[in-house]
Amino acid sequence: MDAPYSRIKVEPTSGALGAEVSGVNLAAGIDDVTFEEIHRAWLEHHVLFFRDQRITPAQQTAFAEHFGPLEVYPFIEPLPGHPHVIPIIKEKDTRFNFGGGWHSDMSYQERPVMATMLHAIEVPARGGDTLFADMSAAYDALSQGMKDLLQGLRAVFTAAKVHGAAGLYSDADHPMAMKKDAGREQARFLHPVVRTHPETGRKALYLDLPHVERLENMRVHESLPLMEFLYQHATQPQFTTRFRWRKGSLAVWDNRCVQHYALNDYPGQRREMHRITIEGDVPR
């Protein structure tokens, strides 16, 4: 039986993953015992939600540092004085949002980020929810034959499909000015299609449409049928949960076994979030 929680209250969501955590005031800081309970709940539920956290960028940074060293995001200017905090903003009059489409953050790196932390500064009156999908549950539900087929298979990950010269975020109507980094945009890395979580030992599907170019030793058109099957399989409703943001909400999710999708369904309304990412390891 899992050890009980003494410092926090954990209430699982109604979906396949996720839990709301209460009894924590992140503005006041947390001690190591409290973080141990948060971390244990995070590994079990994959994404944690905290409500009514009116915290500063410095306080968000301090909380994120409990998880590990922080990543510097290469394509967006951070908040002044806070090099690890980037503003994710969609203005009222722009069409595109940031993070629309199922993906795992920064999977195009040699060492993809372990975790993402998002804090709601301004949210629309309606819309702007985020969907999350459990890649471990999706893997577990595959047939043994499909698991055998995927064993040892790797995919080519790249930032070019999103951040390259002809990528998704090259459109002039994108809500945020993106920094250019030709080296990172064009780099390609091989990661396993099924990765093993370094802390829990569970296997999870690991590939996402915005960042995967093709499967190793295959052409793009040869790769697509299998990739599209896996994308559609992994994002079925039974593997997902949906989070409705309020001002002050904070979420932290495990990119090693979770994909997410920021919905773009709030035309004429403004949304601002502050994001921090935590360094990860090489997928195995």
Of the candidates 45, 46, 84, 105, the residue annotated as catalytic is 105
Beta strand spans in the chain (E)? 9-12, 19-22, 47-50, 86-90, 115-122, 130-134, 154-158, 188-192, 194-196, 203-205, 212-215, 240-243, 250-254, 258-262, 271-278
Active-site residue (options: 84, 260, 271, 274): 260
Map residue 138 onto helix, strand or coil.
helix
- Of the residues 45, 46, 103, 271, only one is catalytic, namely 103
How far is residue 55's CA from residue 250's CA, in Å, rounded to a whole number? 10
The SS3 assignment for 35 reads helix
- Whether 275 is a known active-site residue: answer yes
Tokens linked to 75: 């394509």
d(CA 76, CA 177): 7
- 150 three-class SS: helix
Check: CB of residue 203 under 8 Å from CB of residue 196: yes
In 3D, which of 112, 65, 97, 67 has the Cα closest to residue 84? 65
Catalytic pick among 195, 211, 271, 275 = 275
Is 103 catalytic? The answer is: yes
Annotated catalytic residues are 103, 105, 260, 275
